[in-house]
Each structure stands twice: as structure tokens, then as C-alpha cells.
Amino acid sequence: MRLPRDVSGDDLARRLARLGYQTTRQTGSHLRLTTDRDGQHHLTIPRHEALRIGTLAAVLAELESHHHLDRAALLDLLFG
């Protein structure tokens, strides 16, 4: 599955709720999300209209590492 091209920061934050992430604070145009699933993990994402592909790929790589998922499983969980 290819990376989606039109994901906003707010949309990604809503989708990350499926992995237990909740917004813990907002500083400027960035959201700080936290989950306790698989150990505590913090993630910062920009609230841009459309995230750049490199930014989205970096966020997904961090999620893959923390939750021990491969890219296909993670994309299916979030966007499938």
C-alpha cells in the first residue's frame, strides 16, 4: 500500500487514536501525542493541511519501531 498523499495533521492525530494516542498538549502548530500501549511513547506531529510525504514517512517509521509493526500492517490499521 502506498502512503496517502492528502493526510492532514489533525486527520493523522484522529487515526492514531486507534493505537491509543491522545493529544497531551499543543505548542504552536504542533501536537504532542502520548500513548501507554507497548510502553509510554510520545510523538509530535505538525497540524498542517497536508503533511509532506517525508514527514509522514518519518512518523510512520517511529510508530513501526515502537509498536513492532511492519509498514503494511501499520498502513492497513491506520488507513485501511
- Name 9's Cβ contacts closer than 8 Å, sequence gap at least 6: 29, 31, 45, 46, 47, 48, 51
| One-letter amino acid of 52 | R
Predicted confidence at residue 50, as pLDDT, reads: 94
- Name 35's Cβ contacts closer than 8 Å, sequence gap at least 6: 16, 19, 20, 21, 22, 41, 43
Predicted confidence at residue 27, as pLDDT, reads: 92
Residue-wise pLDDT tens digits, 7-28: 999 999 999 999 999 999 999 9
| One-letter amino acid of 47 | R
Residue-range domains of the chain with CATH: 9-74 (3.30.920.30)
Predicted confidence at residue 70, as pLDDT, reads: 94
- Name 11's Cβ contacts closer than 8 Å, sequence gap at least 6: none
Residue-wise pLDDT tens digits, 25-75: 999 999 999 999 989 999 999 999 999 999 999 999 999 999 999 999 999
